Amino acid sequence: METIIIIVFLAGYLAITLEHNLKIDKLIPALAMMAILWAIIALAHMDVFEVNAEMRELEPTHIDEILLHHLGKTAEILVFLLGAMTIVEIIDYFDGFATIKGYIRTRSKGKLLWLFSILAFILSAIIDNLTATIVLVTILQKVINDRNTRLWFAGMIIIAANAGGAWSPIGDVTTTMLWIANKVTALELIKHVLIPSILCMVIPVLVAGRYKVFKGNIERDIDDFEAPKSKFGPTMLYLGLGSIVFVPFFKTITHLPPYVGMMLSLAAVATFAEIYSSTKFSISNVESEDHDTTGHHSPVHASLSKIELPSILFFLGILLAVAALESLGYLFNYAGSLNEAIPNTDIVVMLFGVGSAVIDNVPLVAASMGMFSESMDNPLWHFIAYSAGTGGSMLIIGSAAGVVAMGMEKIDFFWYLKKIAFLAFIGFVVGAAAFVIMRDFVLHA
């Protein structure tokens, strides 16, 4: 029966990895894999266990109890993501991200490279790397006409966005998973991963800055931008970003799960959105089907209708599928075998990072949470957050930021492999080396 379980999981995993080749949305194999795995466990009356982290052993339990336990943990992540996604969509409803265009006042390609990279690094730490990439590539399309130049900038945005998401508990799905699962705290994660992440972004930018494509000036007049659609855009941008940043502080103060703080932040942002949407403001250039200019139209309802539910369902499927393997004790036992084969956990974690460039980093991190039983804020978890978050930059399909940029700019897989992969690799390695040095000689000296 164990063989059947592994075959089902590998088949589902392969279908997720080959999403673009099969032309089947990855949520479908994820949900099917999850349902089939739990059905096999139930029908075969297989023994299920709960990992006791303190005793480092498996404790027998009942399938209903363990399934409810994992569903609860998964729901915490999904509700948190729903809140964050809704706040981002409310900001976009008021065209708040157009405010960022105001920071672009140079025509120098070198300066634009640094500007977009820094913006990607900072924004991704707040609104997650996927959304930051969408926002910045959209702005990029308005700033640079030459497609070849734009592809290079998009590649650098991917590297910077993934680096920025790795050090923040709200910057990437994988770091959010570790944070909500009480594997890391926000302050310790920042302390251990911020500098490696900065290096992971800065080194590729320094190297790329020497390339001919980033020399000279852009041709387009950078002042040629359309007017903001709403006068409340800047207010909603700062309010929305501030409300998301507030969540880690809320968790630290109240010790409640992060999704509670996110719901409070969503309520605050939604309140102002409703007030502002009732006020007459200039949105004459907004499509009538998206906004009702004749009367009050709820921005909350409009924002909720734009939430990416396929992503939410994918996370539900993949996390509960990995939970099935964890409940059977496979991941716990596999970790022991892996530690015997490769005693150096640093190598194992770096392999996770390289692996995240090939396959989705969400199941990788979910699996690592079931494999290792180290205590909260053990450096292992911080290293996993860094590796899984930044390793995906090495291939265009290795991260959500890469996939969305690939779709928006039609970036070729092999073009990215030839032009950007090396930059991402050296950034990843330098950041990993910095993490190990800081861990061994600075933070734990």
Residue 51, pLDDT score: 66
**pTM for the full predicted model:** 0.80
For residue 315, count other CB atoms closer than 10 A to its CB: 21
Task: Determine phi and psi for 222, rounding to 5 degrees.
Answer: -70, -5
- Residue 336, pLDDT > 80, answer no
For the cut 60, the answer to whether the pLDDT of residue 182 exceeds it is yes
Total tally of structural domains belonging to the chain: 1
Could you tell me the pLDDT band of residue 444, with boundaries at 50, 70 and 90? low
| Residue 6 belongs to some domain of the structure | no
In a domain, 12, yes or no: no
Beta bridge partners of 52: 57
Say if 26 falls within a structural domain: no
Asked whether residue 263 is assigned to any structural domain, the reply reads yes
Q: What is the pLDDT of residues 387-399, one digit of tens each?
A: 999 998 998 878 8
Q: Mean pLDDT, to the nearest integer, of 122-133? A: 88
Asked if the model's pLDDT at residue 286 lies above 80, the reply is no
Is residue 110 included in any domain, yes or no?
yes
Does 174 reside within a domain? yes
CA-to-CA distance for 155 and 299, rounded, in angstroms?
33
pLDDT reported for residue 290 = 47
Give the model's pLDDT for residue 56.
55
User: Which has more pLDDT, 244 or 341?
Assistant: 244
Residue 77 lies in a domain: yes
Task: Tell me what pLDDT residue 284 has.
Answer: 39
pLDDT digit string, tens, across residues 27-61: 899 899 999 999 999 998 888 887 665 545 667 78
- Cα–Cα distance for residue pair 233/99, rounded to 1 Å: 7
Q: What residue numbers bound the domain in which 248 lies?
A: 47-443
Residue 109 lies in a domain: yes
pLDDT tens figures, 354-399:
888 877 677 788 888 877 878 888 999 999 999 999 998 998 878 8
Sign of torsion over alpha carbons 321, 251, 93, 274:
positive
Where is average pLDDT lowest: 14-18, 278-282, 333-337?
A: 278-282
Check pLDDT > 70 for residue 283. Answer: no
Inform me whether the pLDDT recorded for 226 exceeds 70.
no
Model pLDDT, residue 192: 93
